[in-house]
């Protein structure tokens, strides 16, 4: 039994939810999200509550039960409050700028790295901090992971891009012979 799938998902005021032919759509103050769902899990919308039940007792349906529950909860949270990822750039001369729909990174290479900001995502830069916000959790997370992948934090000096609150295991440098 799925603990996440058994939960009843509440629909807050100002959010409309619809299910049409396997396409689940959520509209809220921040935007609209739509996602296709397979018919292995029955999605029932009763007023201000959503319940999920597997149609058949198969392993695949049980796996999708909790997954679909978390997807729907994330969609509702996204259109009401949104999602935020914060990253820190650390290193001498490392910096970031936003120019139009591109994030420009100076991170120790001989060239600047440009990353196109997808629609639905907002990026702000303040000194050594990058804040990525949006209403689609997957889009915010994927863009943040792509930016971080350009220069992961190295373990000796701690230079690179890391998430806020991420712990970097530091290594000891070379020892001198006595």
Helices 59-80 and 137-149 sit at what angle, rounded to 10 degrees? 90
Q: Compute the distance between CA of residue 146 and CA of residue 177 in angstroms, rounded to an integer.
A: 41
Mean per-residue pLDDT pooled into runs of 10, the chain (178 residues):
83 93 94 94 92 92 92 95 96 94 94 95 95 96 96 93 93 79
Domain around 129: 83-163
Q: Are 112 and 104 in contact (CB under 8 A)?
A: yes
Q: Compute the distance between CA of residue 103 and CA of residue 45 in angstroms, rounded to an integer.
A: 40
Answer yes or no: do 122 and 139 share one domain. yes
Answer yes or no: do 99 and 156 share one domain. yes
The residue out of 40, 61, 80 marking a domain boundary is 80
Answer yes or no: do 26 and 59 share one domain. yes
Report if pTM > 0.85: yes
pLDDT in tens, 105-121: 999 999 999 999 999 99
The residue out of 32, 49, 80 marking a domain boundary is 80
DSSP type of residue 149? H
Q: Quick one: pLDDT at residue 50? A: 95
Length of the chain in terms of residues written: 178
């Amino acid at each position: 039994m799925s603990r996440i799938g058994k939960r009843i998902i509440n629909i807050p005021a100002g959010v409309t939810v619809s299910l049409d032919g396997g396409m689940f759509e959520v509209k809220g103050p921040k935007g609209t999200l739509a996602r296709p769902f397979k018919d292995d899990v029955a999605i029932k919308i009763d007023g201000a509550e959503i319940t999920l039940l597997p149609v058949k007792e198969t392993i695949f349906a049980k796996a999708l039960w909790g997954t679909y529950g978390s997807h729907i909860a994330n969609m509702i949270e996204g259109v009401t409050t949104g999602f935020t990822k914060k990253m820190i750039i650390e290193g001498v001369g490392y910096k970031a700028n936003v120019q139009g729909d591109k994030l420009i990174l100076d991170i120790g290479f001989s060239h600047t790295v440009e990353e196109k900001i997808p629609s639905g995502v907002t990026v702000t830069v303040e000194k050594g901090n990058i804040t990525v916000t949006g209403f689609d959790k997957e889009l915010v997370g994927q863009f943040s992971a792509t930016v971080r992948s350009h220069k992961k934090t190295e373990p000796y000096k701690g230079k690179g891009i890391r998430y806020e609150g991420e712990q970097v295991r530091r290594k000891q440098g070379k020892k001198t012979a006595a």
